[in-house]
Structure 1
Amino acid sequence: MLTSSKAEKPKRVALSFDDGPNPTITPRVLEALGRYGIKAAFFVCGANVKRCPCIVKLIDKEGHIVGNHTYSHSFLLTLTGLALGETLKTQEMLRDILGKDMRFFRPPWGISNPFFIRRLKRMGFRIVPFDVIAYDWKKGVKAEDIVMRVKRYVKEGSIVLLHDGDETKEHADRMEVVKAIPGIVESLRALGYEFVRVDEIVGERT
């Protein structure tokens, strides 16, 4: 019987969380990730950073990436001037809180003006996309739905989009995201996936 001389490499996947920090949900997300030794990326909105600076510090302290998600989650397809102002405002807030520049950026909804994105890249930002949408923001979504969608669409090098912020009455219960984390991690590891930070993947895409 022929056998391969090379061990099969684990498939990589990265988790990312948008729209936080949330004083109730984000610490629970961090706790769940910590139990599995996983480092993720958190794309924070400046308005929430202003309310929860200590949580931003905690995200960074635990080895996760803190990324810029504008100040007020504005739609950036046409608002180039506003987009730059919101991005730089949030950037300054993060620098003041963390004492360093955080150069990862994700536009709200993953949609932006290409001219704006090119400008950010010239300023040294790294744009972080996503390719697995868990639809965890839908009203009535349950943890098992989130896990199922991630399993269905994940592939080597995937960046999974989840949300720890923007918890309003019109949106899904973010505790379902917290509940989904064990199922996501355990099911993907069983499929041979290794969890890495987005900075190990994003350089290959941008």
Structure 2
Amino acid sequence: MIKYIVIIITILVLIFLIHSIIPTYYNKIFNTKVKKQTQSPGTIMLTFDDGPDKRYIFSLLEVLDRYGIKAIFFMVAENMNNNEDVVRLILEKGHKIGLHSWQHKNAMLYSYFYTKKDFENSYKIIRKFQKEKILYRPPWGHSNIFTNYFARKYNMDLIFWNVMAEDWSQNETVETISKKLLDRVKEHSIICLHDAGENSGGSVGAPERTINALDITIPKLQELGYSFIIDEVNY
């Protein structure tokens, strides 16, 4: 009996390894088609995941406007669908949007059928706002064996990050977020922050701390000579 249990557990582990672990780390480490840093000298990129969230987005846009910064917003498609006016405002201000899945679920645990539904529904929603090639960032950077197939099918480019500041955590403050950004950002950084709170797994009020930290940090990064870009265009 124990022998059969061990065999079953081994099979399940192998399935999870093939379905989830290998695709995730292939994309994170080895897949050269996944964008993980900017290319132009002296450039960095500012990106936000999980929104849009009307509680925070207007304050965030004000800070970005104040310093003349353009950013990329990776949106949960359901949030996008429920906040079409916000999405259009973000685009009108010259920012770029991308997809961050349909419902912000972990792709490691997706079946084929849910993965298919995730991409189909996300694609339908974002096409209302954007016709060109779509940027896609999976939640937590997690993939499964079907992710790359559906990304190619819907003409999506995967883009990850190389700097985080754990800004979703209740343990972080304005000061610690700012310090982490200043310590970690360097040439070619793609910064991943979050503009929605508990709705997507962050702590209550976390985006407010992020916004205040950016108000402190952006001018310091500009003083260091970094250019904020989207699509390798300087701002």
TM-score (structure 1 length as normaliser): 0.84
- SS of the counterpart of 1:195? strand
How many pairs align?
Answer: 191
**Structure 1 runs, 4 residues or longer, greater than 3 Å off:** 166-170
Aligned to 1:190: 223
The answer to whether the Cα contact below 8 Å between 1:141 and 1:172 also exists between their aligned partners in 2 is: no
2:86 aligned partner, one-letter code: I
Aligned to 2:115: 83
Aligned to 1:150: 181
- SS of the counterpart of 1:136? coil
- Structure (1/2) with the larger helix percentage: 2
CA distance in 1, matches of 2:195, 2:75: 9
1:185 aligned partner, one-letter code: I
Tell me if 1:109 matches 2:155.
Answer: no
The answer to whether the Cα contact below 8 Å between 2:170 and 2:204 also exists between their aligned partners in 1 is: yes
Unaligned runs of 5+ residues in structure 2 are: 1-39
Tell me if 1:46 matches 2:46.
Answer: no
- SS of the counterpart of 1:149? helix
- SS of the counterpart of 2:148? helix
The answer to whether the Cα contact below 8 Å between 1:68 and 1:87 also exists between their aligned partners in 2 is: no
Q: Whose Rg is larger?
A: 2
Distance 1:99 1:156, change over 3 A: closer
Distance 1:157 1:84, change over 3 A: farther
- SS of the counterpart of 2:98? strand
Unaligned runs of 5+ residues in structure 1 are: 1-8, 202-206
Aligned to 2:102: 71
- SS of the counterpart of 1:196? strand
Deviations 1:72-101 (A, max 9, x none): 1010124243223212212211222x2635
CA distance in 1, matches of 2:130, 2:49: 22
Deviations 1:41-80 (A, max 9, x none): 0011122112211101111111111101111101012424
CA distance in 1, matches of 2:145, 2:184: 26
Cα displacement (A) at 1:152: 1.2
The answer to whether the Cα contact below 8 Å between 1:19 and 1:45 also exists between their aligned partners in 2 is: yes
CA distance in 2, matches of 1:24, 1:58: 15
Aligned to 1:17: 48
Work out the percentage of aligned pairs sharing the same amino acid.
Answer: 31
Cα displacement (A) at 1:185: 0.8
Distance 1:156 1:170, change over 3 A: closer
- SS of the counterpart of 1:74? coil
Distance 1:68 1:40, change over 3 A: same
2:211 aligned partner, one-letter code: V
Aligned to 2:65: 34
CA distance in 1, matches of 2:204, 2:183: 20
